[in-house]
Amino acid sequence: MIKPGIKVGPQDWLNRFEQTQATYCEVWYNATQPNRYREVFEYLTAKQIHTGIHFWGTIDDIWEPNVAYPGPTLEKTLNMIKATIDVASQHQFHYVNIHCGNTKLIRIDLNKQIFLPDKNSQKLLPTTAEIIQKQSLIELNSYATSKDIMLLVETIPAKTPTTGGKVTSQHSLPVASLIRRAINDHILITNDFCHTFSDEFDKPLNDLWQSLWKKTLALAPYTKLLHINSVIPPYNGADSHHGITDQDLNIPGAFPTREKLTQLLQLFYHRDDVWAIGEPSQHHADNYFALKKLLPPASRQGGPG
């Protein structure tokens, strides 16, 4: 059965565990600030909480890590991810989750959650970027396997919010590239439903739903982690990181609806090797309990398995 868990970071993590008593979690991990995680990692080990790491960081305090773009940032990206895999291995965690790469360099401010494409970097052809992505992921997957850690690669949306309600392209490689990596290179997947939904835009909602369904089916045999949220209109290629509480899903146009989210989750009900983690912008405990209600009774326990 699906294992429900909660997202935590270096702040407010204890309160979330005390509220939920969750036994599975994913840690938002800034690899440039490892000392901030010492206390939470000690807690996770002492409580024997099943843990995965969601890799983040900045390259030279400017760039988003990018496994699909050549140059100095690529080597630094690979080294930073490998160092994170080492951390996961030292603590006997379960996985390290990374993003799938971009065709341009992206400037990043993690404190403000701002991602802006670099105007001066050349945009690669997707076919060129995918060759680099393939090589990077094979190398990282081999390294993770040697450390007894699962490498997971996450679907990401086409666009990212900027300021004033605007969005911009983040030049991400499409979900189709991850389908090829999974099938051809046995790369394991994190399917963020709202990211996969936002892989495309400017289409009728039913077409976007059918595309999400088909991609989820294609990725399902290789999927080990689900990120569960909702997105509200306009469907513009960016993820709004709304939750799945009754209040969230009652927002006009919130997607997926409870019915469609249940349909997606049912594809994984029989799996005991898949985790589900909510990534709402707020009310994490409420969303954890809302997620458990969407799962069969055996999954709701969230216990070891």
What local confidence, expressed as pLDDT, does residue 110 receive? 81
DSSP 122: P
Residue 286 CA, chain-centre distance (Å), reads: 20
Cα separation, 73 vs 126, in Å, equals 18
Cα separation, 55 vs 204, in Å, equals 33
Structure tokens at 60: 């030279």
DSSP 123: P
What local confidence, expressed as pLDDT, does residue 302 receive? 41
Sign of torsion over alpha carbons 97, 269, 24, 197: positive
Sign of torsion over alpha carbons 303, 242, 172, 116: negative
How big is the chain, counted in residues?
305
Cα separation, 239 vs 227, in Å, equals 12
CA distances from 206 to 97, 121, 203, 224, 235 (A): 30, 36, 8, 26, 12
Residues whose CB falls within 8 Å of the CB of residue 278, separated by 6 or more in sequence, listed in order? 6, 7, 227, 228, 229, 243, 244, 284, 287, 288, 290, 291
What local confidence, expressed as pLDDT, does residue 231 receive? 96
Cα separation, 243 vs 245, in Å, equals 6
Cα separation, 162 vs 149, in Å, equals 34
- Is residue 230 within 8 Å of 249, Cβ to Cβ? yes
The domains of the chain are located at: 3-300
What local confidence, expressed as pLDDT, does residue 25 receive? 98
What local confidence, expressed as pLDDT, does residue 301 receive? 46
Work out the mean pLDDT of the chain and round it to a whole number.
94
Could you tell me which CATH class the domain 3-300 is placed in? alpha beta
pLDDT tens per residue across all 305 residues of the chain: 899 999 999 999 999 999 999 999 999 999 999 999 999 999 999 999 999 999 999 999 999 999 999 999 999 999 999 999 999 999 999 999 999 999 999 998 887 777 888 988 999 999 999 999 999 999 999 999 999 999 999 999 999 888 777 899 999 999 999 999 999 999 999 999 999 999 999 899 999 999 999 999 999 999 999 999 999 999 999 999 999 999 999 999 999 999 999 999 999 999 999 999 999 999 999 999 999 999 987 654 443 22
